Structure 1
């Protein structure tokens, strides 16, 4: 970790200009915007079978409020935006939200979805300006997919992937959370899918963000182990990356299409170079996925705060960003919220 320019625990006032920066010199350039907390799946590593208490409609940020925050962060140098949930496609206004964010100059916008509604939304989202999409899918076996998501919806996912391809999305990424005892034996199958379909498949380590708090470290499959399994089946060539990325990426050495990424979020966290920030569906600003504190932007928005005041709140929160989430430390403390409530 870069030596902080100030004591992050008591850093004094945040800078009033320049890039969005914390005391370690990390620049916040990536904003994940959650548009809803509801989801039409019940993934075992995320929420209970009966779901969670959902936000009321009036608690969600409106389209105009999301638009205003996106414009604010854009004015502060943010160019990478990802629309998340919950499941973002269950929000009726999603195409309009996407269109507004995509209208900002020089931005790279994507969404993360479970794909169940892409058969009818892929084209409207593409027409709204979206070019990149990520579909979460943790098993290529219908029965196992149903076990992990508590929904028999695998056919909807495959239909959604096909609809995304037909709509012209490129790249199409597939996120796979690898859990020991559940799906670690499918790594090579996912690699084969990448080769045959030209997908960008990313293997993600299982993180402690489930609402039922049943996460066990023993169920974490190190990314290095997944990489070794895939490398035993295919010759891989590393992808040269211009800047630090969460995923270590590889192409197939024989020139086959597709990219494989391995994200060691638990065993080798990328906190040192993390540039990610998040707004939850009800307008809480989080500077880390595992943050224990949030900054309420919705109250400020609805009480008439101007952009200068919103900027002050954002800069102050980021200035206090901690070194990292401490998953591998004995004093690790889980956030109160689960992944669906935070936004991926």
Structure 2
């Protein structure tokens, strides 16, 4: 039973906070929306991120994930991790594309980072360049292996599956992950409701149901996570695959325990919505008390609603 955790009005506990600390990036992936670009000088500072995380800890958040854009583009990223780690969360993780990870992995581990998820959709050089518009595949692979070496465990690879691009590369990616003691996460591309605005998602969306059924048939064991949208983890001959299907809205939302902070400092109560954001960073910059900032968090939590309502 969770104690000292805030529940939203649908009795979902808020135990995880994902903070987009920059939306700058060193690749240009096909499926990235680049929402709400924020100038680097306007990004949240290490001290501001510390204050946000300190208040989040007070309301029961136990896990912090730092993401981007590419978070390793923040010049003070090690200091950011160090300050957040001083708050003694159960878990501090980061999502990165891995390109700069070889350089930073050891320092991040020493600063208090527990683990990393690396976005890598292919091991094929040509496909990588098609997806990212860059030639950084070998840098990303070196970063991944360095993360394994220094113990940022478990290292996970996030592989977004796209029709006619990489859906036939899953076996090769799983082989790479199993060999290097890495968890593979297969992620279903979110299909936009407005396909006139997002023709890419309509053209390349690939439903993961058939792939998951194949995985389930050969798995030695399966575990369904209690939180994190009820994701299923499959264990196959010493390897591990997790399937993330955000388009399964009812189940995804019903077991969501995560709140998000946008790069411009707003609370994003729901992953699949942008119409209920709550301004946060201006309250921090105005020097408001932790109690006042906590009230802003509670306001954001009270905005949470299942997608299908």
Q: TM-score, normalised by structure 2?
A: 0.90
- Write the deviation string for residues 258-305 of structure 1: whole angstroms up to 9, x where unpaired: 310011111455100101111122211111112222111111112221
Q: Aligned in 2, Cα 1:242/1:322: closer, same or farther, shift over 3 Å?
A: closer
Q: Which runs of 4+ in 1 moved over 6 A?
A: none
- In structure 1, what is the Cα distance between the partners aligned to 2:160 and 2:203? 15
Residue 191 of structure 1: aligned partner: 174
Residue 134 of structure 1: aligned partner: 117
Residue 253 of structure 2: aligned partner: 271
- In structure 1, what is the Cα distance between the partners aligned to 2:164 and 2:28? 18
Q: Aligned in 2, Cα 1:45/1:135: closer, same or farther, shift over 3 Å?
A: same
Residue 24 of structure 1: aligned partner: 10
CA drift at 1:23: 1.2
Q: Aligned in 2, Cα 1:224/1:162: closer, same or farther, shift over 3 Å?
A: same
Match among 28, 39, 42 for residue 28 of structure 2? 42
Q: Are 1:236 and 1:250, in contact at CA under 8 Å, matched by a contact in 2?
A: yes
CA drift at 1:229: 4.5
- Alignment partner of 1:270: what SS? helix
- Between the two structures, name the one with larger relative contact order (CA 8 Å, sep ≥ 6): 1
Residue 302 of structure 1: aligned partner: 285
CA drift at 1:31: 0.1
- Alignment partner of 2:246: what SS? coil
> If each structure's helix is expressed as a fraction of its own residues, which one has the higher value?
2
Segments of 5+ residues of structure 2 without an aligned counterpart are: none
User: More deviation in 130-139 or 240-249?
Assistant: 240-249
Q: TM-score, normalised by structure 1?
A: 0.81
Q: Are 1:187 and 1:226, in contact at CA under 8 Å, matched by a contact in 2?
A: no
Residue 262 of structure 1: aligned partner: 243
Segments of 5+ residues of structure 1 without an aligned counterpart are: 1-17, 330-344
Number of residues of Structure 1 aligned to a counterpart in Structure 2: 300
- Write the deviation string for residues 123-178 of structure 1: whole angstroms up to 9, x where unpaired: 11111111211100001111001101111111111111121122222111000000
Residue 224 of structure 1: aligned partner: 209
Q: Are 1:31 and 1:276, in contact at CA under 8 Å, matched by a contact in 2?
A: yes
Q: Aligned in 2, Cα 1:207/1:94: closer, same or farther, shift over 3 Å?
A: same
- In structure 1, what is the Cα distance between the partners aligned to 2:135 and 2:86? 37
Match among 222, 239, 256 for residue 239 of structure 1? 222
Q: Pairwise mapping of residues 47-86 of structure 1 onto structure 2 (< 5 A)?
A: 47=33, 54-86=37-69
CA drift at 1:42: 0.2
Q: Are 2:228 and 2:257, in contact at CA under 8 Å, matched by a contact in 1?
A: no
